[in-house]
Amino acid sequence: MGADGHAFLNHAQARNISHHGAKLSGLETQLKPGDVIAVQVGDKKARCKVIWVVDALQTQKIEVGVNLIEGQPCPWEKEMQQSEQVVEPPPAIAPANQNKRKFPRLRVPFPLEMRDPDGVGSHMRTKSADISGRGCYVETMLPLPVGKVLSVTLWLDAQRVNTSAIVRSCDGGVGMGIEFTGLDDETQERLQQQIETMAAEPGIPENARGVS
């Protein structure tokens, strides 16, 4: 349904695709933030929520940023895998003592504070879209560039923990993926346990898991 309340069908181009959302260009129907639309890629369908709308240049028509609704499959999973296969470098030989453990990533609104070490007093208080003991994804219309170093503050029970972090993925108008680079193995384990405890609490359903 468009902003006028009528059903519509448009072809569009999806850019900045991720497991969380995308930017859709070339729409001819006006939408508004909060609208829920169905997106189809090949035979894959999913429902998405509009988070921002821009009346772009005539060649691109209307652009919107969308987030996949909780529990919906990723309709461009195949395209993401194909893209990764093209740019994926040859596998490196990992040291024998390298930590190979992987944590399940859960959709938990975990409170965080992020600071830019280069910006005096600049910081952001937010909550994760999903998180594991090794990193998280934060939804924001203005994500930071890949490679940006951050200082992140989080709480393990009543203990305040500060860690260095780095932006690993940037989805314009949707969000960014962040890796915690300053947490030791024990702290990662404690964080993962707290996340899993929160995910099991009533009112916070456990959704599709990924690997961080």
Co-location of 71 and 110 in the same domain: no
Check residue 161 and give its pLDDT: 93
Residue 116 in tokens = 């830019």
Across the chain, mean pLDDT equals 80
Buried b (16+ CB within 10 A) or exposed e, 33-46: eebebebebeeeeb
Report if residue 3 sits inside a domain.
no
Query: Tell me, what amino acid is at 46?
Result: A
Confidence band of 15 (pLDDT split at 50, 70, 90): confident
- Cα 96 vs. chain centroid, distance in angstroms? 31
Report if residue 6 sits inside a domain.
no
CB atoms within 10 A of CB 100: 6
Give the H or E element holding residue 194. helix 185-199
Look at residue 210 and tell me whether its pLDDT is greater than 50.
no
Q: What's the domain count of the chain? A: 2
Check residue 184 and give its pLDDT: 92
Report if residue 180 sits inside a domain.
yes
Lowest mean pLDDT among 56-70, 102-116, 186-200: 56-70
Mean pLDDT of 23-50: 88
Q: What is the CATH number of the domain that holds 135?
A: 2.40.10.220
Check residue 33 and give its pLDDT: 84
Confidence band of 1 (pLDDT split at 50, 70, 90): confident
Domain span including residue 148: 104-211
Report if residue 84 sits inside a domain.
no
Check residue 59 and give its pLDDT: 56
pTM of the model: 0.54
- Decide if 24 contacts 63 (C-beta within 8 A): yes
| Domain end among 60, 78, 96 | 78
pLDDT tens profile 139-156: 888 788 888 899 999 998
Phi, psi (rounded to 5 degrees) for 36: -110, 125
Co-location of 145 and 184 in the same domain: yes
Co-location of 21 and 71 in the same domain: yes
Confidence band of 67 (pLDDT split at 50, 70, 90): confident
Co-location of 155 and 108 in the same domain: yes
Look at residue 166 and tell me whether its pLDDT is greater than 90.
yes
Query: Tell me, what amino acid is at 35?
Result: D
Residue 115 in tokens = 């600071």
Report if residue 85 sits inside a domain.
no
- Decide if 126 contacts 136 (C-beta within 8 A): no
Q: Tell me the percentage of the chain whose pLDDT exceeds 90.
A: 25
Co-location of 72 and 108 in the same domain: no
pLDDT tens profile 102-151: 788 888 889 999 888 776 546 788 888 899 999 999 988 878 888 889 99
Confidence band of 209 (pLDDT split at 50, 70, 90): very low
Mean pLDDT of 149-170: 91
Report if residue 108 sits inside a domain.
yes
